[in-house]
Structure 1
């Protein structure tokens, strides 16, 4: 997996990704604490709304920027978006009103929604060999898992000495470092075909192929289960730890890290698991873990039990998310992958757009314990839908009928 880091351009881009991810993880913890400071008992509502705004940016802006970004110089665009993100994060410590949080979160994630598709589209142009590109995908997943694990741990250590507002400043510096690494290499220009289809045709084509492929309908259902569990963990951790258990800021950060630890463990074991168990079975087990973990929250766990619960949710999510790229590759031809990956990006984040505000509103209205039950029921229904829509005798490759949707 690590051999691909011998490629200088990719190595610099990967380091830029890791630095930006760690900085963003610090902001996730700091944002939860800022919401608690400004809104107290309504922190879950504020955080859920802010994260829903983030999903709006991802669902709507990312596909549009990804379609038009080929007309812009890649390196200049990536550097500019990093610097804008750093500027926006620097403004968060000075926020005194909740609506200001919403505005800055939208601006921040509008830039991230532009950065991500451009970054992802650049990697295969740098790494021409299929084996190198596969290694890069594995490293990218590992980077996300490391961010989930390390950022909260770093945040917990820093919060013993510093105010949580310092975490925003560190994230801004991370974005500046990411911009510097991108500036240190030359990136290949994007290929733009003269007869490229319109943005609307690109988006709708990917969605149509996705929704007409049984295994991907199953993946979408399981993505809803992931978002139900993830929204509960991200939105209500600060509410449960600070308000229900009466613990401190460090305990909030450690609770976030527990989910990352569960995800990391699965990421390390999954290559051996997939050699013996089908992807469908693996992902359905992940959905079962998410459902069980959410229902166990009805027992109002103590802090150590909560850490185990969050680790279970992280493991369940990783069992679904990590193999999902294999399903997308199986379901299309090579030239169709960008459209299908874009469809997965938009549809999966649309699930989060629903569950983020739901977790925040339910937590403030009916209490955290009952919110566990409601979101557990969402995950259960999603798993049932996946079992029904995804046939157990799934062919390894997509059927030629999907090609009838090509423009």
Structure 2
């Protein structure tokens, strides 16, 4: 897995990702404690609303940012967005009202809506070999897992000597360090794409995504991940401090257990994905999430909560890690930024549903009922994924292009108007060819 770090460009980008994630992890812990300070036992409702605002920014702005990104130098765009995020994070320790939290979260995540999919779409160009890219995906997942594990532990250690607003300073340092590391490398320029209107560029990724069967299945799996993840992120502070009567440090330890489970799966997956396709571990991970949530009402102690969060973290990573492989093979190189942005927007649309639901249901019906409601949503996503992405789905499909002239380069490459090859949705394949068969 570590062999891909021999590539200096990827090594610097990976370091930038890790440092920024640690800073973001500190902000996650601090934001939960800030919500508790402002709203007390209604912290879950405040935090759920704040995170819903974050999702609105992601869903609305990621496709627009993708349409702009293919016209700008990637390095300039990434550095500028890191600096914007650092500037907003400076203001977070000084908020005293709930509405201030909401405004700053929107501004911070508006910048992230442009940064993250652009960063993700750059990695396949830096590592064009599929084996290298697969290892990079596992490393990236491991980076998220380490953030989930180490950031809460670091936060717990810091909270023994400083108050929680200081944690936001770590977020600022992380974004500044990320910008500095991106400045040290030369990034591949976006591949030239056909001239299209802003509207077409903005919607192209989502249209191509929804026209691809395995990506429709991925969207259903995103719902499973969002249902379980929202329960963990929104309500851990409420479960630990209001339900179990424990302190801030135990909130960080509970979140660390989730990160440990996710990291364990990330370490196992590279060899697993060498021997099997992406679908089996992703479906298994979603099943773990749906089933695990049913045990939530039985949690009555910190060790029990830690064990459940460990299991959910494992299922979370099983489902999430192979996502980049699906996206990469579902788009032409020039369409990758758009398809990554579509995944970013659509997956966060699922979080837009589950974040406020986790906070609102927790405050209205109690945590036990909230576990069961979100378990039902996760189960619904799993069933939809099984139907939308069947196990026998193939992408090397016989089809024909009766509308192309005989000398077209695509026909010349494949020998005839009726042929077969791995299909991706693009200008030549606007619909998935389920039934079309060659006639000659």
TM-score (norm 2): 0.86
Is 1:322 the counterpart of 2:347 in the alignment? no
Shift of 1:290: 0.7
Change in 2 beyond 3 A, CA 1:86/1:206 = closer
Aligned partner of 1:340 in structure 2 is 339
Kept after mapping to 2: 8 A contact 1:26/1:168: yes
Question: SS at 2:294's partner residue?
Answer: helix
Which of 1 and 2 has greater Rg?
A: 2
Shift of 1:383: 1.3
Shift of 1:191: 4.4
Change in 2 beyond 3 A, CA 1:175/1:276 = closer
Shift of 1:162: 1.3
Is 1:24 the counterpart of 2:24 in the alignment? yes
Superposition CA RMSD, Å: 2.2
Aligned partner of 1:254 in structure 2 is 253
Alpha-carbon distance in structure 1 between the residues aligned to 2:75 and 2:175: 14
TM-score (norm 1): 0.92
Kept after mapping to 2: 8 A contact 1:300/1:369: no
Alpha-carbon distance in structure 2 between the residues aligned to 1:322 and 1:361: 29
Cα deviation per residue 1:42-82 (whole Å; 9 max; x = unaligned)?
A: 10111011111111111111221122123334333322222
Q: What pairs with 1:8-87 in structure 2 (closer than 5 Å)?
A: 8-87=8-87
Aligned partner of 1:354 in structure 2 is 353
Is 1:156 the counterpart of 2:156 in the alignment? yes
Kept after mapping to 2: 8 A contact 1:54/1:106: yes
Kept after mapping to 2: 8 A contact 1:71/1:192: no
Question: SS at 2:246's partner residue?
Answer: coil
Is 1:181 the counterpart of 2:204 in the alignment? no
Question: SS at 1:87's partner residue?
Answer: helix
Kept after mapping to 1: 8 A contact 2:66/2:337: no
Listed as ranges, the gaps of 5+ residues in structure 1 are: none
Q: What pairs with 1:105-254 in structure 2 (closer than 5 Å)?
A: 105-193=105-193, 195-254=194-253
Number of residue pairs matched by the alignment:
405
Kept after mapping to 1: 8 A contact 2:82/2:176: yes
Kept after mapping to 1: 8 A contact 2:286/2:315: yes
Alpha-carbon distance in structure 1 between the residues aligned to 2:430 and 2:295: 44
Shift of 1:331: 3.7
Aligned partner of 1:301 in structure 2 is 300
Aligned partner of 2:311 in structure 1 is 312
Cα deviation per residue 1:167-218 (whole Å; 9 max; x = unaligned)?
A: 101111121222222233344444444x332333234333233323332222
Cα deviation per residue 1:315-370 (whole Å; 9 max; x = unaligned)?
A: 11111111223333444444544333332221111100110011011011111111
Kept after mapping to 2: 8 A contact 1:330/1:396: no
Change in 2 beyond 3 A, CA 1:337/1:79 = closer
Alpha-carbon distance in structure 2 between the residues aligned to 1:17 and 1:6: 16
Alpha-carbon distance in structure 1 between the residues aligned to 2:165 and 2:310: 27
Question: SS at 2:85's partner residue?
Answer: helix
Listed as ranges, the gaps of 5+ residues in structure 2 are: 398-421, 432-440
